[in-house]
Amino acid sequence: MKKAVLMDRDGVVTEDTGYVHKIEDFNLVENAVEGLKLLKGFKLIFITNQSGIGRGYFKFEDFLDYNNRVVQELKKNGIKIEKTYVCPHAPEDNCECRKPKTKMIKDAARDFGIDLGKSFMIGDKKIDVEMGHNAGCKSILVLTGNGMKEKENANADYAARDLIDAAKWIRENDK
């Protein structure tokens, strides 16, 4: 069984300007590349809610184009994102894949042979932390994106300044 770092994308790795889907709006969060480079040896996987698709704000193809840009930019920096799991539904759809439900993270565990008990979830929202805990992972709240607003109620195993801080904590707590 493999260890993984599962992470939200927007607000954690990329700037979250709200319903992010336009390539021209692409910006990496400060220290994201440096932090991800510290996680060599872990499977790196995106787990993301994209309710803008379900709400009709943008098309699934727009999400794919933007996400491919993110993955390619990280690849140029020597970082491999194994796969992106996406929930395209609006909250009111009450689907099984929307965080904090665990379908996406369990699908990733099945697809990649991941031991969730030895893995980590990183996000900038309470729902990311909850999903990680619900699936048996240690959960980290990064204080980038929405993290500062969510800090009080997130109940994370660790609150990290950024991905460098999160990666260092993961290395120290990787058992």
Cβ atoms of 152 and 172 within 8 Å: the answer is no
Residue 25 bears catalytic tag = no
Q: Which helix (H) or strand (E) holds 44?
A: strand 43-49
Number of helices and strands (H, E) in the chain? Answer: 7, 6
Q: Are 145 and 31 in contact (CB under 8 A)?
A: no
Among 8, 62, 124, 128, the active-site one is 8
In what order do the strands lie in the sheet containing 81-87? Answer: 81-87, 43-49, 4-7, 120-123, 138-142, 158-160
* Opening angle at CA 46, ends 51 and 96, nearest 5: 50
Q: Is 8 a catalytic residue?
A: yes
Cβ contact 156:129 at 8 Å: yes
Catalytic residue among 10, 16, 128, 162: 10
Question: Hey, which residues are catalytic here?
Answer: 8, 10
